[in-house]
Structure 1
Amino acid sequence: MRGGWLKVGHLLTAGALFAPACAHYAPTPQHALGMDAAHYSHLAKQIEFPDVATASAETPATTPPPLSILSGETDQFLDLSLEEAIHLGLIHSQVLRDLGGLVLRQPDLVRGRQDPSIAETDPRFGIQGALSAFDASFSTSTSYENNDRAVNNVFFGGGTRLLTQNFWTMQSQLSKTSATGTQFAFRNLTQYDANNAPGNFVPSAWTTWFDFEARHPFLQRGGVNFNRLAGPNGQPGAINGVVIARLNADVALADFELGVRNYVSDIENCYWDLYFAYRDLEAKVAARNAALETWQRIHALYEQGRRGGEAEKEAQAREHYFRFQEEAQNALHGRLYDGTRTHNGSTGGTFRSTGGVYVAERRLRLMIGLPINDGRLVRPTDEPLKARLVYDWQASLADALTRRPELRRQKWIIKRREAELEANKNFLMPQLDALARYRFRGFGDTLWPYGGVPGPFNNAMSDLVSGDFQEWQVGMEMSFPIGFRRAYAAVRQSELQLARERAVLHEQERSVVYDLSNAVAEVDRAYAVVETNLNRRLAAAEQLAAVEAAFEAENATLDLLLEAQRRVAEADVAYYRALVEYTLAAKNVQLEKGTLLDYNEIFLQEGPWPDKAYDDAARREFLRGAPVHRKDAPLTAAPAVSTGVYPQHLEPAVMSSWPASPTAEDLPPPPAAPDLHSPGPAINLEDLVAPPAHSEQ
């Protein structure tokens, strides 16, 4: 009968286990709960603002309105050189800004000043996180038990079938893993046992012992090199040692340098965009004023009914004026097109002559960290490059292949893949460990020497230090998976990743040569176009003067005069466009060579450590003492990771093989702009356009 009830109980238990899996979820009606959840449902669907603490030197909420065509004339200007613009940008650049709106669209991809520090302090993949695997660790635990049980065998109960026991135990351990992979442990275990077994020496006894244990791997996970690469906790395909963490930090530094380089390049792009916008406005306003004067003359003849004042000529002159008025308005305000920025046609940026003083000025303010609107108008004070530059191709090519941060970053990645491959090969060996343990034991009626029964087992601590009970153990442990499937997969993946990164480096070098070739050729093209547009500008000015004289003598038609005025305006714009293109082409050559930061006297340097870090380093160096030179040092030393410090500033006196500065052949100074009458009443050129500098580069 007992067996039948057991079977029924088993069936009921099995049914209870499988019943929920077959049931369907049915929500409890709200009226059955006695509450209305509509209020909570409404709150859960609300969109709320987070309560965060923000600190900013600039308060966007108090920004004044922007300058526009309806703002009228302004008499407040901020004259700014290119060097000052770059300086302002660098000191205001907690985030390396870009012109593509990345900070709003994908803020996680924006580079910032804290990125290298974030990568180095990453607790998972950073240097300190990798070093933490070698830190000493301490653990302790304690527990108390009260046991009251019946035993079937008197022998196991210590002479009784009803055992009553109070049992307390405490365990502490200090462990550390060395650089060679050896694991050291120092343990203490203390137990208190009070029970009613009649066979006990004393009713309650204390037992304590200290363990010294060492485990050293000989094959898998053994050696300084493996533990530097993979760490003591590394697994096949999951390599994250100190060397790998340092390589990740080097990659982050290269990424940061790339961000700074692109940021400086975009500041210069915005600066010359604004310069061209002013020159474009100057040419458009001069053409508009000339068209206005022509229209006024034709209109006067039209009102007097004289020859030359025919209705079609008056309408033609009026249309010509309003066409230039439109161009002047667009040149002053600008339209929201993309300006010159990095990677729009070339690595450093291909010039886009969209024009527009107000738009270009706000774009420059955005890049250098100035308030977007403050009632002032930024004016460039530097003039574009006018000297001819001739580059040594072989020296420029050597610079590009050695100093481009993209190539250096890729080489760090290749070094990381090589280290991962070497570490993964270690997992193809079996795990063979040597184990050694030594133990001191103590037993007594009490734990410390007071009270207790007289005799040799009065207290456990005295018995421990007497050394009467010592134990030791030595041995070997070996284990390995049959076939090493996971290890072989990790090695194969590392080989494929290494091959891929090397192929990427090869293509990057080809791309660098391609971009450098384009940049050097662009310098030659832009300089030739500057010369051509200079001659065109001279010819257009001479043509206008001749046509005006002929028109006064009634030997030229109105069409020729209006066409000559248009050609002068176009020639002026084309000349300054060519100058800006030439200046940006020279900047892009420095970028393609990897010397743009050096060219602008910008250098990257790690910030200072806390004072305590220097004190700790000095103390550890003193404790380390003089290094011991061993004959087998070259065989046991870790492989080199880098080739030395990256030179950010190359001086001719240090490296005499580097070429001197490019030779320069100055262009003839550009002629003064022809007097096209004073500006019209709508725009004051003396306020809007900075006077041209007289120095030649």
Structure 2
Amino acid sequence: MNDWFAELGGPNSQTTRTWWGNLHNVCRVRVVTVGLRLGVAVAALVLSIILPGCRTTEVNDAQDGVDPAHYHYTALDISYPDVESPVDYAVATTEPPMTLDSEPPDEYWDLSLSDAIRHALSNSQVMKDLGGLVLRSPSAVRTVHDPAIQETDPRFGVAAALSEFDASFGASTFIENNDRALNNQFFGGGTRILEQDAAVVQSQLTKRAATGTELAFKNKTDYDGNNAPGNLFGSAWNTNFETEFRHPFLQGGGVDFNRIAGPTDTPGIYNGVRIARLNTDVSLADFESGVRDFVTNVENAYWDLYFAYRDLDAKIAARDAALETWRRINALAEVGKRGGDVASEAQAREQYFRFKEEVQNALTGRLVEGTRSGSGSGGGTFRATGGVQTAERRLRLIIGVELSDRKAIRPADEPIAARVTFDWDEILIEALTRRVELRKQKWLVKRREFELQASENFLLPTFDLIGKYRWRGFGKDLLPQGNRNKFIVQDLDGDGNIDQNADGTLPVQKSRAALQNLFGGDFQEWQIGFELEIPFGNRRGHAAVRNAELQLARDRAILQAQEREIVHDLSNAVAEMNRAHAIVLTNFNRRQASNEQLQAIRENYENDRRGAPLDLVLDAQRRLAEADAAFYRARVEYTLAVRNVHYEKGSVLDYAQVYLSEGLWPVKAYFDARERQDRIAKPLDYFKLLSKPASVSQGTYPQLLAPTEAEQSGEGEPAVEVPVPAPATDVNAADLRLIELPEPPPIAAPREPNIRSVVVEELAPPTDEVIRTNSTVEATPQPMPIENVESLPQTQPAPKAIPRTLPSQSESGVPIKVDSFDAREPDDGFAPLNPRGAKAVRPSLPTERIQRDAKPAPLPEPLKRLRPKRFPSIPAIEMKTESKSSVDENDPFADESPQ
């Protein structure tokens, strides 16, 4: 520094003072200029923040004809959403419902149970119930889209988990201009005023392997042109290619951990591909349970309607009998004969209007809860609420047909008539194997086991191996620009002459283009090392393991409790089936006895014998009506009890002949699956280090277990070639033959084949999934002990004729009948039926309304045909009348035939 001042003549020389003055003026100008620029920038920033927050004083109060008061005084309001979801035309044009005042239906629709289930599965994408859950809690209702929604979930689905291991490409480009003053000339490359044009272009390709290894391939190219005199070139390019890897040896490493937890460093958050696949399996189990309950509710609604018709028929018969009695009492009262007193006439009239009320209630029904799944039992305990019109509307709602039209649905199937027995040991194992709730809980237990395995990885320290390798290139230009870039013209010795080689030629640089310099490989760099992190105590890791253990213990305890609950419910279902069958036999005997009692009392009453007052006649009519309804209620209860046994042992869909399958994929998906299958069949095994992953599932679950008669006998019809639905994309026939598709059951083409979803079809079981079992035996009626009217157990003889020997007072009781379903009433068409009811019974709605006159009107002609002969019912009771000579001439019923 002193030498420098000495060259200027010393620090106090005139030259030195002049130099310092000029420097001071330059710096002051520079400071003022920088201050002005900084002030302008700050003012612009403040104005950009303040001005958008200001508002004008003029307010347009009327825009587009909207009242401004709405915006002045209302913050929240109830609005109607604008969605592209028009109301269904069939729903918007629904006809008025059938009521008491409605005309009789134009026709009847004789619907079988299998057709009802088919309509329900074909018309419903929402698994509705009969409790209004779709309105109260729509998010809890199952739909056919739920499994596909779970699998395509962008957060927790299978595709989302696999996306963490997809290759990713990124790029960025930035261009900038710098103009700054530097305090230190050294950092400015020999200048204090730096003027620079710069650009940076970066790109990278990253990939995470299944082992947790992170791989990256990067490129960075930057341009720098500035006025620094110390630069070799006024503008230059730098470019480099870099490869990088990071492999975790302890925490976060391993194929199993990454497949379970995914690339995460947070314990308790596991979203690997295995967990996502298990979530899909859980969703499939939920969907299956929704379909099971839906099919069960369809059957519940069907048998509710059946009983409603039977109950209505019994009430109509009782009303007609009461009307006939009232007419006779009223006729006796009009002629002044004995038995026609006011009290008797009023009593008979009260009986008639009582049964008329019951007919009206049985026709329309009351809005009370009917039979539905989960009510009393898993499949639903029968509730004899009655009401034809209400039950029919419920059935229409759940099977997805018009809610109201001019047709009346009538069940065409009869309840189960044969006695059905089950082998307890087989159905017990079947229930513990096939119940969907247990299968779902086992998937949850499997998920907890995987989570525990992943959480143990967080007990390890972090030890990552890191490596980098880089190729660099530098030059005045990025790309070669011809011969002008091959020679270096410079004066390094400062003699004022251009430096030359010994032979007088100019020195030649290998390349002055950055890419040429890069690919020449002159500049290479590398780095390798490791990172180690050991948390003292590792509280979070130990807490994660303990939490996973508790979660696993909880789910296992729930699984055991569910198994006990299922065995309990299965026991209740078997006991209920036995009780229901016994009640069927008892109510049949009661029905026979009530019929004979009414016939005997009415005969005594009409013959004017002692001990047969009107009270006994009316009471016998009530007893017969109650016994008739109780008999059909018992038959429906027995049918539902058999169904509930299948429900509790997990075979209710098999019982209803419903099979679940996945919809068709596009043809391209089958080609991709075939190609991937070939890769999986021959995996690359590097030095025998790859291990086979642990088993997750035991293969496809067999849905149908009951063998057909042809399978049991070893015979069957020849195989029928099932046409394959058209694929989603157009391909040649030759290409289609290359696809080795499985042989699924015959299914209809889905509505949208391009959308992967789970559909429900009513199908025949595939031959490769049938497991033979003899757990269900439909036995023929066998002799069994019953109780007679005196409650004495007797042995029932072989089912032949119908003994009608009445018990005497001096001897023990004898059986009244042989077998409930083999003891037929005269001309009732009652025959043993198979469990699905091959004999169609067609109840009928009343076609006339009873007149509301105070006086009993003559019996209308249509009412005489309300109970057709094909209807299994109690035979008509013949009412004996007195001889014509003993009847007054004014008797209006003297010339009429008995009703």
The verdict on how the C-alpha distance between 1:174 and 1:577 changes in structure 2, with shifts beyond 3 A counting, is same
Matched, 1:317 2:348: yes
Matched, 1:467 2:508: no
User: What's 1:584 paired with?
Assistant: 640
Q: How does 1:452-491 map to 2 (within 5 A)?
A: 453-454=485-486, 455-491=509-545
Tell whether the 8 Å contact from 1:88 to 1:368 is kept in structure 2 after alignment.
yes
User: What's 2:586 paired with?
Assistant: 532
The verdict on how the C-alpha distance between 1:559 and 1:106 changes in structure 2, with shifts beyond 3 A counting, is same
Residue 446 of structure 1 aligns to a residue whose secondary structure is coil
CA-to-aligned-CA distance 1:262-310 (integer Å, 9 cap, x gap): 0011100000000000000000000000000010000000011111101
Identity %: 55
Residue 442 of structure 1 aligns to a residue whose secondary structure is strand
Using the alignment, how far apart are the partners of 1:641 and 1:564 within structure 2? 67
Deviation, 1:640, is 1.2
User: What's 2:166 paired with?
Assistant: 135
CA RMSD of aligned residues (A): 2.5
Using the alignment, how far apart are the partners of 1:260 and 1:58 within structure 2? 27
Tell whether the 8 Å contact from 1:74 to 1:687 is kept in structure 2 after alignment.
no
Tell whether the 8 Å contact from 1:97 to 1:367 is kept in structure 2 after alignment.
yes
- 2:335 maps to amino acid: Q
Tell whether the 8 Å contact from 1:286 to 1:679 is kept in structure 2 after alignment.
no
Matched, 1:508 2:562: yes
Q: TM-score, normalised by structure 1?
A: 0.91
Tell whether the 8 Å contact from 2:704 to 2:771 is kept in structure 1 after alignment.
no
Name the stretch that deviates more: 562-571 or 48-57: 48-57
- 1:543 maps to amino acid: Q
CA-to-aligned-CA distance 1:382-411 (integer Å, 9 cap, x gap): 000111111100101001000000000000
User: What's 1:17 paired with?
Assistant: none
Matched, 1:222 2:253: yes
Unaligned runs of 5+ in 1: 1-27
Tell whether the 8 Å contact from 2:185 to 2:191 is kept in structure 1 after alignment.
yes
Tell whether the 8 Å contact from 2:97 to 2:404 is kept in structure 1 after alignment.
yes
Matched, 1:548 2:602: yes
State which of 48, 52, 57 in structure 1 corresponds to 2:79. Answer: 48
Matched, 1:153 2:184: yes
CA-to-aligned-CA distance 1:482-539 (integer Å, 9 cap, x gap): 3222222222211111111111111100100010000000010000000000011111
Q: Which has the higher helix share?
A: 1
User: What's 2:461 paired with?
Assistant: 430
User: What's 2:849 paired with?
Assistant: 682
State which of 613, 617, 623 in structure 1 corresponds to 2:673. Answer: 617
State which of 662, 665, 675 in structure 1 corresponds to 2:781. Answer: 665
Tell whether the 8 Å contact from 1:140 to 1:171 is kept in structure 2 after alignment.
yes
Using the alignment, how far apart are the partners of 1:161 and 1:146 within structure 2? 16
Q: For CA contacts below 8 A with separation 6 or more, give which structure has more relative contact order.
A: 1
- 1:119 maps to amino acid: Q
Matched, 1:521 2:572: no
Deviation, 1:689, is 8.4
Q: Following TM superposition, where does structure 1 have runs of at least 4 consecutive aligned residues deviating by more than 6 angstroms?
A: 30-37, 687-690
State which of 630, 633, 636 in structure 2 corresponds to 1:574. Answer: 630
Tell whether the 8 Å contact from 1:66 to 1:375 is kept in structure 2 after alignment.
no
- 2:455 maps to amino acid: N
The verdict on how the C-alpha distance between 1:491 and 1:318 changes in structure 2, with shifts beyond 3 A counting, is same
Using the alignment, how far apart are the partners of 1:281 and 1:523 within structure 2? 25
User: What's 1:378 paired with?
Assistant: 409
Q: How does 1:183-198 map to 2 (within 5 A)?
A: 183-198=214-229
Using the alignment, how far apart are the partners of 1:234 and 1:184 within structure 2? 18
The verdict on how the C-alpha distance between 1:346 and 1:41 changes in structure 2, with shifts beyond 3 A counting, is farther
Q: How does 1:90-129 map to 2 (within 5 A)?
A: 90-129=121-160
State which of 421, 425, 447 in structure 1 corresponds to 2:452. Answer: 421
Tell whether the 8 Å contact from 1:167 to 1:191 is kept in structure 2 after alignment.
yes
Using the alignment, how far apart are the partners of 1:680 and 1:156 within structure 2? 107
User: What's 2:701 paired with?
Assistant: 646
Using the alignment, how far apart are the partners of 1:625 and 1:461 within structure 2? 44
Deviation, 1:44, is 4.5
Name the stretch that deviates more: 44-53 or 412-421: 44-53
Tell whether the 8 Å contact from 2:420 to 2:777 is kept in structure 1 after alignment.
no
CA-to-aligned-CA distance 1:133-188 (integer Å, 9 cap, x gap): 00111111111121122223222211222221111101101101011111110100
User: What's 1:257 paired with?
Assistant: 288
The verdict on how the C-alpha distance between 1:624 and 1:324 changes in structure 2, with shifts beyond 3 A counting, is closer
User: What's 1:8 paired with?
Assistant: none
Tell whether the 8 Å contact from 2:240 to 2:472 is kept in structure 1 after alignment.
yes
Using the alignment, how far apart are the partners of 1:674 and 1:682 within structure 2? 26
Residue 703 of structure 2 aligns to a residue whose secondary structure is coil
Deviation, 1:671, is 2.1
- 1:682 maps to amino acid: R
Tell whether the 8 Å contact from 1:229 to 1:239 is kept in structure 2 after alignment.
yes
Deviation, 1:110, is 0.7
Residue 244 of structure 1 aligns to a residue whose secondary structure is helix
User: What's 1:179 paired with?
Assistant: 210
- 1:243 maps to amino acid: R
- 1:671 maps to amino acid: E
Name which one, 1 or 2, has greater alpha-carbon Rg. Answer: 2
Residue 548 of structure 1 aligns to a residue whose secondary structure is helix
Tell whether the 8 Å contact from 2:435 to 2:649 is kept in structure 1 after alignment.
yes
Q: TM-score, normalised by structure 2?
A: 0.71
Deviation, 1:663, is 2.7
Tell whether the 8 Å contact from 1:273 to 1:339 is kept in structure 2 after alignment.
yes
Name the stretch that deviates more: 414-423 or 147-156: 147-156
Residue 147 of structure 1 aligns to a residue whose secondary structure is strand
The verdict on how the C-alpha distance between 1:281 and 1:510 changes in structure 2, with shifts beyond 3 A counting, is same
Tell whether the 8 Å contact from 1:58 to 1:371 is kept in structure 2 after alignment.
no
Residue 199 of structure 1 aligns to a residue whose secondary structure is coil
Using the alignment, how far apart are the partners of 1:630 and 1:393 within structure 2? 53
Using the alignment, how far apart are the partners of 1:513 and 1:619 within structure 2? 46
The verdict on how the C-alpha distance between 1:693 and 1:146 changes in structure 2, with shifts beyond 3 A counting, is farther
Deviation, 1:632, is 5.5
Using the alignment, how far apart are the partners of 1:541 and 1:625 within structure 2? 75
Using the alignment, how far apart are the partners of 2:826 and 2:279 within structure 1? 57
Tell whether the 8 Å contact from 1:75 to 1:687 is kept in structure 2 after alignment.
no
Name the stretch that deviates more: 295-304 or 430-439: 430-439
User: What's 1:66 paired with?
Assistant: 97
Unaligned runs of 5+ in 2: 1-52, 62-67, 487-508, 713-769, 783-820, 830-844, 851-861, 874-899
Deviation, 1:78, is 1.2
User: What's 2:194 paired with?
Assistant: 163
CA-to-aligned-CA distance 1:354-382 (integer Å, 9 cap, x gap): 00000000010111011111121110000
How many pairs align?
A: 663
